[in-house]
Amino acid sequence: MSTTTAETKSAMTEQQDKMVKRILFLRNPFDVLEVNPETPTDKVRRKYRRLTLLVHPDKCKHPQATEAAASLSKALAILEDPEKRKPFFEITEAARRKVIDTWERNG
């Protein structure tokens, strides 16, 4: 294996490790899938597919890759269903408004 290929593989593994840790740390499905609350479902699905390629246990050797892939699937299931998505949207919007209000009062 050439040095360039080894370096590329090492960088990919590092990126995968960071992604697995990030996904497992987060609980908000918008954050897990790196999308905004206003993101349409079709774009959410595209983002899910892209992220899944990084952490899929067949492609990623991280010991918690399976759990990360499951978290991505759970986040997608929530964001695809309007009834399940609504409470997360409302919580996210309420938090955003609170941050803006605090910023304006202290700014």
8-state DSSP, 58: T
Tokens of 42: 């079709």
- Whether the full predicted model's pTM is greater than 0.75, yes or no, is yes
- Model pLDDT, residue 88: 94
Are 19 and 12 in contact by the 8 Å Cβ rule? The answer is: no
| pLDDT tens-digit series, residues 57-76 | 999 999 999 999 999 999 99
39 three-class SS: coil
| pLDDT tens-digit series, residues 7-42 | 666 766 899 999 999 999 999 999 999 999 999 999
